[in-house]
Structure 1
């Protein structure tokens, strides 16, 4: 069975977090050194984020997360930083697509009740977000099995390489 439940702490951001906020344009020269670029992930939105985030944590945002230029390295460095999923009210279309392609779960949900530091349990297949800190449960449309398979394989390219094409159990 594919992994579908994630636990971690919420890091809260507002609306219109752009790919420049995620992967600062002034660090363009690091795009061929993604581990180094990941040390600067989201630093234009929160200068200390990369130092505070731990494996399994969540980025929680408002509307239009990932707007701006199509930088595939933006969702890649979020994933490399250890973030298990991004939860937002809405996503820029190309960011959403790039995130799935690199194996980063992106969930469309109402994030108003989630605060910075809340402990969350997210069930991708069940469509639930338990805010353990507040004792509340939020819902989102569960991810289809095919999408969970792609995410667990590490993204679309990894899925195709693993299966020598598209294959879903």
Structure 2
């Protein structure tokens, strides 16, 4: 994982639940390319038309509410979502994202400063978001170093397989 993520902002609403991120009727799919086709389908059936791999989801509060299944995060990663920025995240979704290596940035004022299609640059080390389209900086919450480490390894499983964080 790189410290700087760049991508186009894709704006969605509030209280986006896990079934909107990845509808339960597709749970039998196992191939990442099949799963990716249904990302955010419950929010916008045309999401795939406006989203490109590497884009950044910009959401309103309570992103990822709903069930605790990891499929929502798996779907976002399979689709190529580079990061999600929102004022708040559902607790279990947040933990699933960290566990699976998807960067989430909490930022209360993000929707006031980002419009659909704005080009964004996130500095994960300090939590700063640069809206390069509008030439403004937005301060998000900095992720703890161990979380950045987990994300850089692709999630908690790879983090532990490589023995990171287990030194005595």
The residue aligned with 1:151 is: 151
- TM-score, normalised with respect to structure 1: 0.91
Structure 1: runs of 5+ lacking an equivalent: none
Sort the Cα spacing of 1:36 and 1:142 in 2 relative to 1 into closer, same or farther, 3 A.
same
Choose the corresponding residue for 1:74, options 72, 75, 84: 72
For the Cα contact (< 8 Å) 2:35–2:78, is it kept in 1? no
> 1:49 and 2:44 equivalent?
no
Structure 2: runs of 5+ lacking an equivalent: none
Is 144-153 or 46-55 further displaced after alignment?
A: 46-55
Shift of 1:141: 2.0
Shift of 1:149: 1.0
The residue aligned with 1:105 is: 103
What value does the CA root-mean-square deviation take over the aligned residues? 1.6
For the Cα contact (< 8 Å) 1:130–1:136, is it kept in 2? yes
For the Cα contact (< 8 Å) 2:105–2:127, is it kept in 1? no
For the Cα contact (< 8 Å) 1:118–1:133, is it kept in 2? yes
Deviations 1:118-156 (A, max 9, x none): 100000102210101111110012212211111010000
Aligned length: 165
